[in-house]
Every structure is written in structure tokens, then in C-alpha cells.
Amino acid sequence: MSDKAVVEEVAVATTAKPSFWTRVKAHFRKWWWAHLIALVVVVLVVALPLVYVGYPNIAQGDISDSTLSVESMVISDPSPDRFQLNQRQVIGTDSIFHPKIYEFDAEVSLAGSPVFATVTVPSTRADDGVVVDINDQYVDLTDADAFAGFSTAVMMNEEFELNIYGRPGLKLGALPKIHVNYNKTVTMKGLNRLQGFGIEVHLDPDRDDGNNANGTVFIPNPSVLQLSMGNVTMDVSSNGTALGQSFLNDLVLNPGNNTVPMVAFLNNTRLFPILGALPEGVTTIPLTIVGSSSVYNGEEIPYFTAALAANTLNVDLDILEVLESS
Ligand SMILES: *[C@@H]1O[C@H](CO)[C@@H](O)[C@H](O)[C@H]1NC(C)=O
Ligand SMILES: *[C@@H]1O[C@H](CO)[C@@H](O)[C@H](O)[C@H]1NC(C)=O
Ligand SMILES: *[C@@H]1O[C@H](CO)[C@@H](O)[C@H](O)[C@H]1NC(C)=O
Ligand SMILES: *[C@@H]1O[C@H](CO)[C@@H](O)[C@H](O)[C@H]1NC(C)=O
Ligand SMILES: *[C@@H]1O[C@H](CO)[C@@H](O)[C@H](O)[C@H]1NC(C)=O
Ligand SMILES: *[C@@H]1O[C@H](CO)[C@@H](O)[C@H](O)[C@H]1NC(C)=O
């Protein structure tokens, strides 16, 4: 009985004064459209800056913080105004986002110098350890002088800085595609003046190709570059006396130590007096070797010639070896 009484009492009270929730419901039934507009406005006010300011900023920050390391760079089939490029590089990033990076054109330069070419970088995903391969791409030189400067810097330095610049498209999940600045300067090992260069010469008077000596050249290459330099000619002199030229045919400089055959023409009228004048017990003569040209498919390759010519190599030639086999 008493339970029923309570229920009735409550029912009466409800009719007389609507409860809080009933009033809320009534309010929304009448004003739902105003709330919907308010909600949409709030969502847009929060989401739009996130999508159009926050996301591009985060994406740009992550791209700027990412690293790039060049694992190999192969320059082949050179001509005065272009070459073939194969390059492998690895992306480093600690971002939790792994957006797609669209294929883009990257301007390449020696950091601080004019751009020498544009390279097409294939589409990839920005993730730690992702390998990006540039395969068999013919690269046209837009500034051959700048590339000669680059080649010379590679030849003459222990390290050089390669700059890569572009504006790739980037897309993360369902978010819109945006563009970011890709501006990376990669420090790479150079040829370091071919330090450690060595030469071994044997007189070979019976050759029928106009030369009179043969031998091997030892060329250390501490970089990750593989360079097809074609037929390389080097001027050989000793203490200011021009002795002749040595020829390295189809020189391909691989990373690491290279031992390559060479032939030479040495002017005996000049060489023998030098050997004859050697003091008792001295078995070496100083040689100065400077590259004078790189010729590939009959064309001189100015950028390789410039790099070779910039580097004067000084070695001691063991004359016992020279005469041993003559
Ligand atoms: C790339 O960054 C370097 C160093 O921060 C800067 O000097 C250069 O102007 C930048 N390149 C471009 C095209 O913005
Ligand atoms: C180099 O010359 C020596 C003679 O001095 C000869 O015995 C040798 O076969 C030659 N080597 C080559 C690769 O021509
Ligand atoms: C090098 O040449 C100069 C003269 O040109 C001479 O005085 C000097 O003795 C030479 N040195 C050697 C090691 O032959
Ligand atoms: C290259 O040759 C140098 C000198 O002979 C030697 O010290 C070095 O270990 C060699 N490097 C490789 C990778 O074989
Ligand atoms: C060799 O040297 C002599 C003496 O300097 C010179 O007269 C001659 O022309 C040179 N020969 C060649 C083929 O360069
Ligand atoms: C180097 O010279 C030889 C002989 O003249 C030639 O057969 C060869 O094709 C040349 N190599 C290159 C890469 O031009």
C-alpha cells in the first residue's frame, strides 16, 4: 500500500513540475538545429587547423628531422652533358607517422654551390630504414661547370656535402595531400686525393701499340662512389722533366681498393739519364702524375678531366722493378 502511495505522489509531482531531464529533452527537441550548428562549428574550428596547420607542420617537422644516407652512387656511361645514375639511399626517421612521399624532382648540388642536375626520386613511404633506389636514370647536367666543381670537390676532399632539394607531395592516411620542403645535406666520403695511390712500371720495349712500358696502378677509393671514367691519360714527370704518359683503359673506379692495369710511353732519352745519375744506393725516383684527360666513347668528359687535373699525385717509383723485366 505504502509503495503505491509513493508512486502516485511522484507521478503527481512529475506532471506538476517537469524533471531536469525532461526539460533538457524538450530543449533539444526545440533547439537541436542550433546545437548541431554549434557542434559543426566547434568540430571545424578544432579540425580545420589540425588538418591544415597542425598536420602540415608535423609532417614538415618530421621530414626536416629525417635523415638520409647514401649507400652507393654509381655514375656510368658519361658524356659531356649527362651520365647514368644508380643510387641507393636509406631514410632515417623516428616519427610515428609514415606518410607516403610522392615521386618528385630533386635539385642536386654540392652544398653551397649551384645546382648541377635534377634527379627524379621515386615514390616511397617515410619510414625508418626504408631504401630508396634510383635505377638506371639518365641525368642531364643543367650546369656542366657546377658538376665539374662537384667532381673536383669529390676528388680533392676527405668528405663533401651533397645537397638535395625538392617539394614532394606527401599524404598521411585519409588526410589531404600536401607539399613539404625536402632539403637535405648529406655528408659523404670523397676520394681524398686518391691518397695511397701507387704505381708499378715495367719497361716493355717490344710492344706493338706505340707504348714501351706496362704495369699496374693502385687506387684506393674510400667513398661509396663507383665511377666509369673511360680511357684515362695521365702525364708522368720526374722533378720537372716530362717523361711521358700513362694510359688506363676503361677505368672503372670501384669503392675500396682498385688495382688496374696500365700501359705507358716513357721517353727513354729523358728517363735513362735520370736513372744513370742516381746516387749510389738510391733505388727510387720521384714521379709526379697528373691526369690530363678522361675520354669515353671518343668524347672527352670535361668534369672527370677537371677532377683528375686538379689532383697532383706524388709517388716514389721503384726503379729496380722498372728495369727488372726489361
Ligand atoms: C636548404 O637548406 C640550406 C641550409 O639550411 C639553405 O642554405 C638553403 O638555402 C636551403 N635551400 C633551399 C632551396 O631552400
Ligand atoms: C709487361 O712487360 C713485361 C716485360 O717487361 C712482360 O713480361 C709482361 O708480359 C708485360 N705485361 C703485360 C700485361 O703486357
Ligand atoms: C731536381 O731538379 C733541380 C733543377 O731543376 C736540381 O737542382 C735538383 O737536384 C733535382 N733533384 C733531384 C732529386 O734530382
Ligand atoms: C686497401 O689497401 C690498403 C693498403 O694496402 C690496406 O691498408 C687496406 O686494408 C685495404 N682496404 C681494403 C678494403 O682492402
Ligand atoms: C724524347 O726526349 C727528347 C729529349 O728531350 C726529345 O728530343 C724527343 O723529341 C722526345 N721524344 C718524344 C717521342 O717525345
Ligand atoms: C678506350 O680505348 C679503346 C682503344 O682505343 C677503345 O676500344 C675503347 O672503346 C675506349 N673505351 C671507352 C670507354 O671509350
182 and 230: one domain? Answer: no
pLDDT digits 0-9 by tens, 260-291: 999 999 999 999 999 888 998 899 999 999 99
Domain containing residue 303? 193-323
- The rounded Å distance from CA 274 to ligand 3 centre is 10
Residue 317 falls inside a structural domain: yes
Q: Do 107 and 75 reside in the same domain of the chain?
A: yes
CA 257 / ligand 4 centre spacing (Å): 6
Q: Are 52 and 178 in contact (CB under 8 A)?
A: no
C-alpha cell at 215: 704495369
Does the beta carbon of 233 sit less than 6 angstroms from any atom of ligand 5? no
Residue 294, pLDDT > 90, answer yes
- Residue 28 placed within a domain: no
Q: What is the pLDDT of residues 179-213, one digit of tens each?
A: 999 999 999 999 999 999 999 999 999 999 999 99
Across 314-324, average pLDDT: 87
80 and 301 Cβ atoms separated by less than 8 Å: yes
What is the distance between the alpha carbons of residues 185 and 202, in angstroms, rounded to a whole number? 45
Predicted confidence band at 322 (pLDDT cuts at 50, 70, 90)? confident
**309 and 273 assigned to the same domain:** yes
Domain boundary among 190, 217, 243: 190
pLDDT digit string, tens, across residues 139-161: 999 999 999 999 999 999 999 99
269 lines ligand 5 (CB under 6 A): yes
> Does residue 148 sit in the same domain as residue 198?
no
pLDDT of residue 1: 46
66-118 residue pLDDT tens: 999 999 999 999 999 999 999 999 999 999 999 999 999 999 999 999 999 99
Does 197 lie in the same domain as 182?
A: no
Does some domain include residue 214? yes
Cβ(325) – ligand 2 distance below 6 Å: yes
Give the C-alpha separation, 60 to 71, whole Å. 24
pLDDT tier for residue 51 given thresholds of 50, 70 and 90: confident
Mutation pick for ligand 5 pocket among 235, 243, 269, 271 (CB with most ligand atoms within 8 Å) = 269
| Ligand 2, atom 13, residue with closest C-alpha | 214
- Expressed in angstroms and rounded, the spacing between residue 136 Cα and the centre of ligand 6 is 22
Task: Specify whether 78 is located in the same domain as 186.
Answer: yes
Span 2-28, average pLDDT: 67
What's the one-letter identity of residue 110? L
Ligand that comes closest to the CA of residue 242: 5
Give the model's confidence band at 7: pLDDT under 50 very low, under 70 low, under 90 confident, else very high: very low
- Has residue 58 been placed in a domain? no
Nearest residue (CA) to ligand 2, atom 1 = 214
Query: Mind listing the pLDDT tens digit for each residue in 169-185?
Result: 999 999 999 999 999 99
Measuring from atom 6 of ligand 3, which residue has the nearest CA? 239
Give the lowest-confidence range in 5-14, 216-225, 285-294: 5-14
Give the residue ranges of DSSP H helices in the chain: 2-16, 20-49, 55-65, 144-156, 268-276, 302-310, 319-324
Beta carbon of 299 within 6 Å of any ligand 6 atom: no
Whether the predicted pLDDT of 11 surpasses 60: no
pLDDT at 15: 57
Q: Following DSSP, what letter does each residue of 246-307 receive, concatenated?
A: EEEEEEEE-SEEEEEEEEEEE-HHHHHHHHHTPPTT--EEEEEEEEEEEEETTEE-HHHHHH
Averaged pLDDT, 284-301: 96
Are 213 and 138 in the same domain?
no
Among 308, 312, 304, 289, which Cα is nearest to 200's?
A: 289
CATH number, domain at 308?
A: 2.60.40
Mean pLDDT of the chain, nearest integer: 93
Task: Indicate if the pLDDT at residue 57 is higher than 70.
Answer: yes
Residue 34 belongs to some domain of the structure: no
pTM tops 0.85: yes
At residue 326 the predicted structure's pLDDT band, cuts being 50, 70 and 90, is very low
Residues 318 and 212 in one domain: yes
- Residue 103 resides in a domain: yes
Same domain, 307 and 236: yes
Domain boundary among 137, 162, 190: 190
Q: Is the CB of 204 under 6 A from ligand 2?
A: yes
Q: Ligand 4 in contact with 259 (CB < 6 A)?
A: no
Q: Does the Cβ of 120 fall within 6 Å of ligand 2?
A: no
Q: Are residues 257 and 164 in the same domain?
A: no
Strands 225-238 and 67-79: parallel
Three-class DSSP category at 145 = helix
Residue to substitute in 270, 272, 274 for testing ligand 5 pocket (most ligand atoms within 8 angstroms of CB): 270
What is the 292 CA–ligand 2 centroid distance (Å)?
25
The domain tally of the chain equals: 2
Strand 225-238 versus strand 213-221 pairing type: unpaired
Q: Are 245 and 234 in contact (CB under 8 A)?
A: yes
Domain boundary among 190, 209, 241: 190
In a shared domain, residues 69 and 172: yes
Domain assignment present for 51: no
Mean pLDDT across 316-326 = 79
Checking if the pLDDT of 10 tops 80, the result is no
